[in-house]
């Protein structure tokens, strides 16, 4: 069908379609470029620091348990080995 159309018709089609397609592309989004909305609630009211404190406390608890075990094993090794 394209071969049958004359050269001027094909040119006209290109000239009309191109700006229309360009305009359309301006309005379609494959990826949303607006900033990602994240949940900043705990950040904005400062309560995030409570979370950090809690996790850090748990971490310290684990470390103290390990240190306690370490001391126990050292004592046993001195006695037995």
Q: Which residues bind another protein (CB under 8 A)?
A: 32, 35-36, 38-39, 48, 51-52, 55-56, 59, 63, 66, 69-70, 73-74, 76-77, 80-81
Task: Return the ∠ at Cα 53 (arms to 51 and 56), rounded to 5°.
Answer: 105
**In the block, which residue shows the tokens 């390990």?**
66
In angstroms, what is the minimal distance from the CB of 25 to another protein? 21
In angstroms, what is the minimal distance from the CB of 36 to another protein? 4
The terminus-to-terminus CA distance of the chain in angstroms comes to 95
Compare residues 16 and 73 and give the one whose CB is closer to another protein: 73
């Amino acid at each position: 069908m394209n071969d049958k159309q004359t050269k001027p018709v094909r040119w006209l089609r290109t000239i009309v379609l191109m700006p229309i397609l360009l305009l359309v592309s301006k309005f379609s989004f494959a990826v949303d470029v607006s900033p990602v909305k994240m949940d900043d609630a705990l950040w904005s009211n400062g309560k995030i620091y409570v979370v950090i404190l809690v996790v850090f406390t748990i971490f310290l608890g684990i470390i103290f348990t390990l240190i306690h075990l370490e001391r126990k094993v050292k004592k046993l090794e001195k006695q037995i080995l």
